[in-house]
Amino acid sequence: MIKPKTKKLKNGLRVLMIPMPESTSVTVAIFVRAGSAYETQKNSGISHFLEHMCFKGTEKYPRPIDISIELEKIGAASNAFTSRDITGYYAKTAPQHFDRAFNVVSELYLHPHIDEKEMEKEKGVIIEEIHMYDDDPRSKVSEMLEVGLYGNQPAGWSVAGTPQHITQTTRDMFIQYRSARYLPQNTVVVIAGSFHESHVLQLVEKAFSSVQNTQKSPEAQKLKTREKGKQFSILERKLDQTHFAMGFYGVPLNSSKRLSVSLLAKILGGSMSSRLFQRVREELGAAYYVGSSNNMYATHGFIDVYAGTNHAKTGEAIQAIISEIRSMVRAGVTTEELRRAQDYSIGTFLLSLESSSDLGFYYGQQETVQGKIESPQEIIKQLKKVTTHDVHQAAKEFFRLSTMRFSMVGPYKEKDAEKFKKLIRR
């Protein structure tokens, strides 16, 4: 059994080491509690923009291409990401190249050049990224759903911000935000794979011990669910398929009900044997993709149910989905359904932890966001303890049609919302 080890430096930065002696790779990652959950209406999108800027040059690697060449020389797979809760920078390479990978990733975090000329160029890149997702109806309908669920607060804002936010971002805003978030107490350095512990600690101490814990870092603001307000949102686009999503308020990451809710979503639409896949795709032939998932963050969570349907069968698909949801609320789930969902969840969970990067992300994000670690064995044990009663209670508590939010992209107008409301009320 792999046993992660955490060491805290004097300045509060945590080092998380996940030894895999037989691994043919090592992953270096730095996770920071800096995401859209910590943004304001003025600087929305700045976490993601800052992540981009960290690759535009550093003290050791003055040009973006210098970073790329150094990583390519060691055959590293590298990237970065920004979510609602965290920003992450990482590189995965052969163990003999650990020092060089560590040097690059630590440079991205510690010494980025926030150059104004590069900023102006990157604004165009990010705005095109926003447009790319805006042009994708599956992404767009999901974005609309979160706006419907949470409105004008961080959980309802796009992680990337808006073109207007990006255009108005200044260098001073970057400096101010970075100084408030990129602090030792918000940061976890993760090393997973084949490495020598003493050498890791020596490198981390040398690179990070001088980083000062200079100020208190603001916590994410508390969210409010929108129990009232606009329930349906429709965006008219001429498409060959109708894309829609339904959203139900769920639970955050630290909830004791999180696994019951996850299994509820899995049974409804999380696999090829799920109710929605069998009913909407196999029986009705109304959709290529249909499903449901449980989305959990530090401050909130929601269940989304989604599909891309034949225009002529959209109404029939919506009715079928609502029928299955009502059935789960009324009668719960069977023992066989729960067993299949548990087995499938455990199997896919274990498969997701095969490599050094998989384990680095699994443990690292837990440590960064929740400040604690649960081993895969503990998660599996908890999954097996969930009962049909637990899942039925979750269905009754969270599948509330009165507060459900609905979003749709397709050849419809806002006035068509009434037609779909009637289908759901039947």
From the number of C-beta atoms within 10 Å of its C-beta (0-12, 13-18, 19+), residue 64 rates as middle
Q: Is 272 exposed, middle or buried (0-12, 13-18, 19+ CB in 10 A)?
A: exposed
Query: Dmax of the chain from CA atoms?
Result: 66
15 token code pair: 């080092």
Q: Which of 246, 247, 242 is nearest to 286 (CA)?
A: 242
| Distance separating alpha carbons of residues 303 and 294, to the nearest angstrom | 5
Q: Give the catalytic positions in this structure.
A: 51
What would you report as the CA-atom Rg of the chain, rounded to the nearest whole angstrom? 23
Q: What is the DSSP pairing of strand 14-19 with strand 5-8?
A: antiparallel
* Sheet containing 232-236, strands listed edge to edge, beginning at the edge strand earlier in sequence: 232-236, 405-410, 242-249, 301-309, 287-296
Residue 191 β-bridge partners: 17, 28
The answer to whether the beta carbons of residues 75 and 101 sit under 8 Å apart is: no
Please, where are the H alpha helices in 238-355? 258-269, 275-276, 314-331, 335-351
| Tokens of residue 52, six digits | 């981009």
Task: Identify which of 258, 260, 292, 251 has the alpha carbon closest to the alpha carbon of residue 387.
Answer: 260
Type of residue numbered 256: S
Q: Which two tokens stand for residue 101?
A: 């990978």
> Distance between alpha carbon 150 and the CA centroid of its chain, in Å?
16
